[in-house]
């Protein structure tokens, strides 16, 4: 029988955050290269962000290239107003891997509590299909196409949901291809100037 697993990280909710990026759930800890979101060195999230904001997909890697630089990422997200968490806080891994296809959500995020901590936030970004499915069920909104967005009302706010392609290498597209979807969202929300 598979055991339930609780989320190992606290939400990252910097003051003044305007965007809340939500994945599904972290991989198993032995796959982490840092103690933060999108920790797997095989995940492209911080390469996408490095490419878009600094013209260097390796910007957030440590000098030896073996880890992501947590302090640099935290500083960047704090400065740019990017909050991070996941749509699931408790899961069962149906297979002993990090695949969303084999992730059963036991308990979803308390989205209202997250948003209460970041009152300036008006945009949520889901970074994969499982995250999008979970969030749309939580807020009862339509799913936007990859790269698209929809508006919805939640907790007394008018919000915009952006659906981005997965940054996982299980979604085998080049970093630059994925970045082309993220760029308009970051520009529309005033994060990328």
| DSSP-based helix, strand, coil % in the chain, nearest 5 | 30, 25, 45
Q: Determine contact, residues 11/118, Cβ cutoff 8 Å.
A: no
Mean pLDDT of all residues in 108-120:
97
For the entire predicted model, the pTM comes to: 0.94
10-22 pLDDT, tens digit per residue, is: 999 999 999 999 9
132 vs 28: CA distance, rounded Å:
21
Examine the pLDDT at 83 and tell me if it is beyond 90.
yes
Element counts in the chain: helices (H) and strands (E)? 5, 8
CATH class, domain 4-188, is: alpha beta
Phi, psi values for residue 4, rounded to 5°? -80, 150
* Token pair listed for 122: 């008006």
1 vs 18: CA distance, rounded Å:
41
59 vs 180: CA distance, rounded Å:
18
Between residues 99 and 23, the one the model is more confident about? 23
Give residue 97's pLDDT band: very low, low, confident or very high (50, 70, 90).
low
168 vs 50: CA distance, rounded Å:
16
Q: Domain-by-domain residue ranges, the chain?
A: 4-188
52 vs 177: CA distance, rounded Å:
11
């Amino acid at each position: 029988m598979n055991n339930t697993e609780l989320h190992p990280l606290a939400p990252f909710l910097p003051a003044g955050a305007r965007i809340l990026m939500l994945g599904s759930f972290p991989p198993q800890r032995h796959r982490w290269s840092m103690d933060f979101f999108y920790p797997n060195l095989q995940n492209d999230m911080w390469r996408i962000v490095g490419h878009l904001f600094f013209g260097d997909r390796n910007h957030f890697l440590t000098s030896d290239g073996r880890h992501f630089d947590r302090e640099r990422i935290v500083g960047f997200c704090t400065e740019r107003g990017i909050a991070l968490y996941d749509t699931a806080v408790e899961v069962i891994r149906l297979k002993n891997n990090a695949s969303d296809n084999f992730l059963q959500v036991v308990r979803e995020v308390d989205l209202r509590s997250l948003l209460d901590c970041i009152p300036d936030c008006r945009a949520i970004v889901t970074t994969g299909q499982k995250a999008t499915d979970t969030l749309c069920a939580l807020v009862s909104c339509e799913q936007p196409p990859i790269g698209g967005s929809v508006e919805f009302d939640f907790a007394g706010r008018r919000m915009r949901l952006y659906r981005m392609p997965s940054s996982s290498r299980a979604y085998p597209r080049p970093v630059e291809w994925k970045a082309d979807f993220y760029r308009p969202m970051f520009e529309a929300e005033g994060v990328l100037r």
